[in-house]
């Protein structure tokens, strides 16, 4: 089975890549997983995969049970965390027990946060089932919930003991969620790996057809890029912030659309806005900007959206928690495959980026 090692000292772990769940018990045996496991999932993923995973673990001697909270970002809150903690108590988990997060980024973030606080912290593993979680959120140890209108404002760094990726779960994923996940995938190419970006441009049809071997290759490259950044800067004191490429404007677009657009699609628009600023500064060429837009289009992204007045969008941006000493942080491409961070983007530059992405394509 394909695997990747995330080297974080005593918090190191493996990411395993497969086209089914069959190898999960062996992967858990390798980390000496305890017998008592609570599978935490959401109501959609529960219907699709919880029985299969729970039965597999029971057949291999684990005392496993599943708990599902209501699916959706709007349930990424403290009430759901309390529900998970309650299920931990009901299933008799103790400090040596383990949580298995089976689902997308919402499940991973919440199950991970519950694991970080239950009995002052128990182990957890990630079994991601969306493209976003298989290529990004399951790796890196950020866990948390939304609170008081701010995304991921409460949370903890808590690394999983194992990430087990079954790429074939993507076959049941709604298309808009696949497109959303591609936002983070394309982002990885732009920030760190020009060859991977080319690969995404050249293989769009086979990737969209969900060929298992290709999905494994894509997941492995994504996780390698994310893991490499995390290994350099686990707690986001510097380099890790490059993963926020597209997010400064993207989060404002998300707010402007009252979270009715998917996260990845907003990041896609945000990447175009940031790339436009970079092109106007002479950092990338008009051809590179066009390649970024064309690649997003290939995967079904909108590249222009109607926006409220610039002052309103700016207001959303100012609320972003990713500010440095009160200044907005931007990640701008220097070329495809490399980015830089800056806090010196002017209001005029930002407003012209709003005009650009808010224009009719
Ligand atoms: N921790 C991190 O580093 C990190 C990074 C990026 C994003 N995030 C977080 O990730 C979350 C978004 O994650 P997401 O995009 O995976 O959303 P999600 O977890 O809400 O999943 C999207 C939808 O797909 C459903 N679903 C999941 N797997 C499925 C499958 N295989 N088949 C059919 N339906 C399936 C879910 O029930 C949900 O309705 C956000 O809360 C974001 O803040 C975290």
Q: What span, in angstroms and rounded, lies between the C-alpha atoms of 158 and 317?
A: 28
Ligand 1 pocket test target in 130, 180, 263 with most atoms within 8 Å of CB: 130
Q: Indicate if ligand 1 lies below 6 Å from the C-beta of 347.
A: no
Task: Provide the number of structural domains found in the chain.
Answer: 2
Q: How far is the CA of 247 from the centre of ligand 1 (A)?
A: 17
Q: How far is the CA of 205 from the centre of ligand 1 (A)?
A: 23
Q: Are 48 and 186 within one domain?
A: no
The per-residue pLDDT for 308 is 87
* Cβ proximity of 270 and 246 under 8 Å: yes
Q: Are 135 and 188 within one domain?
A: no
For the stretch 267-321, pLDDT in tens is 999 999 999 999 999 999 999 999 999 999 999 999 999 988 889 889 888 877 6
- pLDDT reading at 361 higher than 50: no
Q: Indicate if ligand 1 lies below 6 Å from the C-beta of 135.
A: no
Write the CB contacts of 96 (distance below 8 Å, at least 6 apart in sequence): 34, 36, 122
* Cβ proximity of 229 and 239 under 8 Å: yes
Q: Are 327 and 211 within one domain?
A: yes
Residue 1 corresponds to which tokens in the numbers above? Answer: 């089975």
Q: How far is the CA of 137 from the centre of ligand 1 (A)?
A: 8
Q: Where are the beta strands (DSSP E) in the chain?
A: 2-6, 13-18, 36-42, 63-69, 98-103, 123-128, 142-147, 150-157, 162-166, 323-324, 327-328, 330-335, 338-342
Q: Are 235 and 329 within one domain?
A: yes
Q: Are 96 and 10 within one domain?
A: yes
Q: How far is the CA of 345 from the centre of ligand 1 (A)?
A: 31
Identify the residue whose tokens are 């207001």: 315
Q: Indicate if ligand 1 lies below 6 Å from the C-beta of 254.
A: no
Question: Tell me, what DSSP letter sits at residue 161?
Answer: S
- Whose alpha carbon is nearest atom 41 of ligand 1? 106
Q: Look at residues 172, 207, 230 and tell me which one is the last residue of a structural domain.
A: 172
Three-state DSSP class for 103?
strand
To the nearest 10 degrees (0 to 180), the angle between helices 194-202 and 286-298 is 50
In sequence order, the β-bridge partners of residue 41 are: 68
Q: Are 123 and 213 within one domain?
A: no
Q: How far is the CA of 326 from the centre of ligand 1 (A)?
A: 30
| Residue 11 binned pLDDT confidence (cut-offs 50, 70, 90) | very high
Q: Indicate if ligand 1 lies below 6 Å from the C-beta of 279.
A: no
Question: Tell me, what DSSP letter sits at residue 50?
Answer: I
Q: What span, in angstroms and rounded, lies between the C-alpha atoms of 226 and 184?
A: 10
For the stretch 314-327, pLDDT in tens is 988 887 766 666 78
Q: Would strands 327-328 and 330-335 be described as parallel, antiparallel, or unpaired? A: unpaired
Ligand 1 pocket test target in 106, 124, 229 with most atoms within 8 Å of CB: 106
Average pLDDT, the chain: 95
Q: Is 69 left (phi over 0), alpha (psi -120 to 50) or beta?
A: beta
Atom of ligand 1 nearest to the CA of 109: 1
* Cβ proximity of 91 and 124 under 8 Å: no
- Whose alpha carbon is nearest atom 10 of ligand 1? 105
Which residue range(s) make up the domain with 323?
A: 176-358
Q: Look at residues 120, 141, 172 and tell me which one is the last residue of a structural domain.
A: 172
Q: How far is the CA of 134 from the centre of ligand 1 (A)?
A: 9
Q: Are 186 and 331 within one domain?
A: yes
Q: Are 120 and 27 within one domain?
A: yes
φ/ψ of 39, rounded to 5, equals -85, 120
Q: How far is the CA of 321 from the centre of ligand 1 (A)?
A: 21
The predicted model gives 93-112 an average pLDDT of: 98
* Cβ proximity of 328 and 318 under 8 Å: yes
CATH of the domain at 82: 3.40.50.1970
Sequence length of the chain is: 361
Q: Look at residues 138, 172, 206 and tell me which one is the last residue of a structural domain.
A: 172
**Greatest extent of the chain over all pairs of C-alpha atoms, in Å:** 62
* Cβ proximity of 249 and 159 under 8 Å: no
CA 87, distance to chain mean position in Å, is 25
* Cβ proximity of 134 and 164 under 8 Å: no
Q: Indicate if ligand 1 lies below 6 Å from the C-beta of 130.
A: yes
Q: Are 193 and 282 within one domain?
A: yes
User: What single string gives the DSSP state of each residue in 162-206?
Assistant: EEEEEGGGGGGS-HHHHHHHHHHHHHHHHHH-HHHHHHHHHTHHH
Q: Indicate if ligand 1 lies below 6 Å from the C-beta of 44.
A: yes
CATH of the domain at 212: 1.20.1090.10
Three-state DSSP class for 2?
strand
- pLDDT reading at 1 higher than 50: yes
For the stretch 203-216, pLDDT in tens is 999 999 999 999 99
Q: What span, in angstroms and rounded, lies between the C-alpha atoms of 102 and 286?
A: 42
Residue 127: which of 105, 101, 106 has the closest Cα? 101
Give the count of alpha carbons within 13 A of 300, CB side only.
14
Residue 276: which of 263, 292, 258 has the closest Cα? 292
CA angle 60, 64, 68 (to 5 degrees): 140
| End-to-end CA gap in the chain | 44
For the stretch 135-182, pLDDT in tens is 999 999 999 999 988 888 999 999 999 999 999 999 999 999 999 999
For the stretch 66-102, pLDDT in tens is 999 999 999 999 999 999 999 999 999 999 999 999 9
Q: Indicate if ligand 1 lies below 6 Å from the C-beta of 172.
A: yes
Q: Are 40 and 165 within one domain?
A: yes
Q: Are 328 and 284 within one domain?
A: yes
Looking at the annotation, which residues are catalytic? 120, 142, 184, 226, 236, 240, 244, 247, 251, 263
- pLDDT reading at 17 higher than 50: yes
Q: Are 195 and 344 within one domain?
A: yes
- Whose alpha carbon is nearest atom 2 of ligand 1? 137
């Amino acid at each position: 089975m394909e695997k990747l090692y995330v080297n974080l000292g005593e918090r190191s772990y493996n990411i395993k890549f497969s086209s089914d769940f069959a190898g999960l018990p062996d992967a858990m045996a390798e980390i000496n997983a305890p017998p008592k496991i609570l599978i935490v999932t959401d109501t959609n993923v529960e219907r699709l995969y919880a029985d299969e995973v729970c039965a597999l673990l029971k057949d291999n001697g684990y005392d496993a049970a599943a708990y599902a909270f209501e699916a959706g970002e709007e349930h990424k809150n403290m009430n759901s965390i309390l529900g998970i903690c309650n299920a931990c108590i009901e299933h008799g988990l103790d400090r040596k027990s383990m949580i298995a997060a089976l689902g997308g980024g919402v499940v991973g973030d919440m199950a991970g946060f519950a694991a970080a606080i239950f009995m002052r912290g128990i182990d957890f593993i990630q079994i991601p089932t969306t493209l976003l979680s298989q290529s990004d959120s399951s790796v890196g140890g950020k866990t948390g919930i939304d609170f008081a209108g701010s995304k991921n404002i409460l949370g903890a760094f808590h690394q999983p003991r194992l990430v087990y990726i079954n790429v074939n779960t993507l076959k049941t994923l709604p298309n808009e969620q696949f497109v959303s996940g591609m936002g983070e995938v394309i982002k990885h190419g732009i920030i760190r790996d020009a060859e991977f970006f080319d690969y995404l441009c050249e293989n769009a049809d086979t990737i969209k057809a969900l060929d298992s071997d290709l999905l494994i290759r894509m997941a492995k490259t994504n996780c390698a890029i994310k893991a490499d950044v995390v290994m350099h800067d686990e707690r986001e004191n510097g380099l890790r912030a490059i993963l926020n490429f597209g997010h400064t404007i993207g989060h404002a677009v998300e707010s402007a659309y009252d979270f009715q657009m998917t996260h990845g699609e907003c990041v896609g628009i945000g990447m175009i806005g940031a790339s436009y600023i970079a092109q106007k500064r002479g950092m990338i060429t008009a051809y590179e900007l066009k390649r970024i837009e064309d690649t997003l289009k290939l995967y079904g992204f909108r590249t222009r959206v109607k926006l409220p007045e610039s002052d309103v969008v700016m207001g959303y941006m100012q609320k972003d928690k990713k500010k440095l000493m009160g200044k907005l942080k931007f990640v701008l491409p220097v070329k495809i495959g490399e980015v830089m961070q800056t806090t010196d983007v002017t209001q005029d530059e930002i407003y012209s980026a709003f005009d650009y992405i808010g224009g009719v394509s």
